[in-house]
Amino acid sequence: MKKWIIISIIAVLTIALSVIGIFYWKKIKYQREIEALSQVTEEVVVEPEVEPTYLYGIAVDSLIIIEGVVKRKQTFSDILKQYNVSPQTIAEITKLTEPVFDLKTIRSGNPYVMICNSDTVPLHFVYEQDKVNYMLFSFGDSIEVKAQQKEVINVRRIASGIIESNLWNAMIEFGINPIMSIELSEIYAWSIDFFGLQKDDHFSVIYDEQYVDTVPVGIGNIYSAIFNHQNKDYYAIQFTQDSVTGYFDDNGESLQRTFLKAPLRFSRISSRYSHSRMHPILKYRRPHLGVDYAAPAGTPVYSVGDGVVEKIEYTAQGGKSIRIKHNSVYTTGYLHLSNYAKGIKKGVQVKQGQLIGYVGTTGLSTGPHLDFRFWKNGHPVDPLKVESPPVEPIKKINREEYERIKNEMIESLIKADNELHKKYPNRIKPHTDRNIIKRDN
**Are 171 and 225 within 8 A, CB to CB?**
no
Integer Cα distance of 292 and 383 in angstroms: 10
Number of folded domains in the chain? 3
Q: What is the pLDDT of residue 158?
A: 96
Given a cut of 80, whether residue 369 has pLDDT beyond it is yes
- For the chain, the average pLDDT equals 84
18 occurs within a structural domain: no
pTM: 0.65
* 143 & 291 share domain: no
Residue 52 confidence (pLDDT): 85
CA–CA gap between residue 272 and residue 291 (Å, rounded) = 5
Tally the residues of the chain.
441
* pLDDT value, residue 276: 46
Average confidence (pLDDT) over 54-64: 90
Contact by Cβ (8 Å): 176, 159 = yes
- The residue-averaged pLDDT of 99-109 equals 91
pLDDT, position 7: 61
Domain with 134, as residue range(s), is 54-149
* CA dihedral of residues 318, 328, 196, 342 (deg, nearest 10): 50
Lowest mean per-residue pLDDT among 43-52, 68-77, 326-335 = 43-52
3-state secondary structure the chain: CHHHHHHHHHHHHHHHHHHHHHHHHHHHHHHHHHHHHHHCCCCCCCCCCCCCCEECCEECCCCEEEEEECCCCCCHHHHHHCCCCCHHHHHHHHHHHCCCCCHHHCCCCCEEEEEECCCCCEEEEEEECCCCEEEEEEECCCEEEEEEECCCEEEEEEEEEECCCCHHHHHHHCCCCCHHHHHHHHHCCCCCCCCCCCCCCEEEEEEEEEEECCEEEEEEEEEEEEEEECCEEEEEEEEEECCEEEEECCCCCECCCCCCCCCCCCCEEEECCEEEEECCCCCCEEEECCEEEECCCCCEEECCCCEEEEEEEEECCCEEEEEEECCCCEEEEEEEEEEECCCCCCCCEECCCCEEEEEECCCCCCCCEEEEEEEECCEEECHHHCCCCCCCCCCHHHHHHHHHHHHHHHHHHHHHHHHHHHHCCCCCCCHHHCEECCCCC
pLDDT at 349: 93
Given 149, 170, 205, which residue is the final one in a domain?
A: 149
Residue 267: what pLDDT? 58
Last residue of a domain, one of 83, 115, 149: 149
More confidently predicted of 135 and 282: 135
Q: What pLDDT, on a 0 to 100 scale, did the predictor assign at position 257?
A: 77
Phi and psi for 341 in degrees, rounded to 5?
Answer: -70, 160
pLDDT-derived band at 308 (thresholds 50, 70, 90) equals very high
- Residue 107 in any domain: the answer is yes
pLDDT bracket for residue 279 (50, 70, 90): very low
| Residue 78 shares a structural domain with residue 141 | yes
Residue 12 lies in a domain: no
Q: Assess contact for 113 and 126: CB atoms under 8 A.
A: yes
Domain-terminating residue out of 112, 127, 149: 149
Q: Is 117 exposed, middle or buried (0-12, 13-18, 19+ CB in 10 A)?
A: exposed
- pLDDT over 50 (residue 82): yes
Q: Tell me if 7 is assigned to some domain.
A: no
Residue 5's contacts (CB-CB under 8 Å, 6 or more residues apart) are none
- My answer on whether 156 and 250 are in the same domain is yes
CA distances from 409 to 188, 217, 323, 441 (A): 17, 25, 38, 24
Do 129 and 100 meet the contact criterion of CB atoms below 8 Å apart? no
Higher pLDDT, 432 or 65: 65
The answer to whether position 49 is within a domain reads no
pLDDT at residue 207 above 60?
yes
pLDDT band for position 439 (50/70/90)?
Answer: very low
User: How far is the C-alpha of 160 from the C-alpha of 427, rounded, in Å?
Assistant: 14
Same domain (yes/no): 274, 341: yes
Burial code (b: 16+ CB inside 10 Å, e: under 16) for 7-17 equals eeeeeeeeeee
Q: Is 80 exceeded by the pLDDT of residue 435?
A: no
**More confidently predicted of 49 and 208:** 208
Q: How far apart are CA 358 and CA 368, in angstroms?
A: 10
Model confidence band, residue 429 (pLDDT cutoffs 50, 70, 90): confident
pLDDT higher than 70, residue 280: no
194 shares its domain with 249: yes
218 and 237, same structural domain? yes
What's the pLDDT score for residue 437?
A: 44
Q: Which residue pairs, CB below 8 angstroms and at least 24 apart, start in 84-89?
A: 84/122, 85/122, 85/125, 85/139, 89/139, 89/143
Strands 435-436 and 232-241: parallel
Of the candidates 307, 361, 314, the one whose C-alpha atom is nearest the C-alpha of residue 331 is 307
Question: Are 278 and 371 members of one domain?
Answer: yes
Confidence of residue 317 (pLDDT cuts 50, 70, 90): confident
d(CA 9, CA 15): 10
pLDDT the model gives residue 190: 79
- pLDDT at residue 31 is higher than 70: no
In contact, 296 and 270? CB cutoff 8 Å: no
Whole-number Å distance between alpha carbons of 60 and 49: 16
More confident residue, 25 or 40: 25
Which residues 6+ apart lie within 8 Å of 390 measured at CB? 241, 244, 246, 254, 256, 258
* Domain of residue 366, CATH code: 2.70.70.10
> Quick check: 23 and 83 in contact, CB under 8 A?
no
Instruction: Based on the fold, state whether residues 251 and 400 are members of the same structural domain.
Output: yes
Any domain includes 19: no
Mean pLDDT of 46-68: 85
Phi/psi for 252 (5° steps) reads 85, 10
Which pLDDT value is given to residue 430? 79
- Same domain assignment for residues 275 and 376: yes
Q: Which amino acid is at 317?
A: Q
* 401 and 356 fall within a common domain: no
Q: How confident is the model at residue 17 (pLDDT cuts 50, 70, 90)?
A: low
Compute the distance between CA of residue 252 and CA of residue 60 in angstroms, rounded to an integer: 53
